[in-house]
Amino acid sequence: MIYLASPYSHPDPKVCEARFTAACRATAELIRAGKPVFTPVVQGHALMPYGVPSDWSFWEPIARHFLSRSDELVVLQIDGWRESEGVQAEMALASALGKRVDNLELETRS
């Protein structure tokens, strides 16, 4: 199973929405390729209206659970991934667990 890490939090809700959309596109690409994937941003974004926080302190135990069961971590290379506290923590956690860490760039559509 792939754990797909992607940045999400940002003061501008439009940026959060764009990051969610990018995570959905990447998740769909992986699923269409026959790869099982868990993407916290895809699950979490839909739950925000129900009071689920977006901060890393909330998601860290969930990330730990799913990363420990994943074969690899794939980092979605979109704006903000280098600065994202969550993505950087997911990368460190994956490394500590001995998981492979790969990168994924979305193809731009014309």
What's the pLDDT tens digit per position in 63-89?
999 999 999 999 999 999 999 999 999
Indicate whether 42 belongs to any domain.
yes
SS3 letters across 62-101: HHHHHHHHCCEEEEECCCCCCCCHHHHHHHHHHHHCCCEE
Domain that includes residue 64, residue range: 2-104
Single-letter code of the amino acid located at 30: L
Chain segment 82-108, per-residue pLDDT in tens: 999 999 999 999 999 999 999 999 876
Checking if the pLDDT of 3 tops 90, the result is yes
Number of domains in the chain: 1
Torsion of CA 41, 45, 50, 53, to 10 degrees: 50
Q: Which of 46, 22, 8, 36 is nearest to 107 (CA)?
A: 22
Which domain CATH number covers 29? 3.40.50.10400
